[in-house]
Amino acid sequence: MPTYEYVCTKCGHEMEAFQPMKDAPLKLCPACKRRTLRRKVGGGAGLIFKGTGFYITDYKKKPTAPAAPATAKPAESKPAESKSAGSKPAAPAAAK
């Protein structure tokens, strides 16, 4: 239920009333007892999110690691170790 603001056009009394939207606007001023109360046109309340996950920082992109510059040299590769075709690692000598 919204809170409406009212002002009396005769005495200038201002007040707020918490009432359902389907109710008719109030007419009787509580200060001067005349039927000159008018509902103010309000801008409404701002949108309020309650709970977690509604912060602007939740939607920012996560910082990523800077990409390597295009002019950087690729990592130098180690020369391949040459393996002879018939060589195998030496087997341990059998104990006698």
pTM score: 0.45
Between these two residues, 3 and 95, which has the higher pLDDT value? 3
Task: Express each pLDDT in 18-49 by its tens digit.
Answer: 999 899 999 999 999 999 999 988 766 666 66
How far is C-alpha 37 from the geometric centre of its chain's CA atoms? 41
Q: Do 43 and 2 contact (CB within 8 A), yes or no?
A: no
Lowest mean pLDDT, pick from 1-15, 27-41, 53-67, 75-89: 75-89
Q: What is the structure's pLDDT at 22?
A: 92
For 49-83, give one letter per residue: b (16+ CB within 10 A) or e. Answer: eeeeeeeeeeeeeeeeeeeeeeeeeeeeeeeeeee
CB neighbourhood size of 30 (10 A): 12
Tell me the domain boundaries of the chain: 3-39
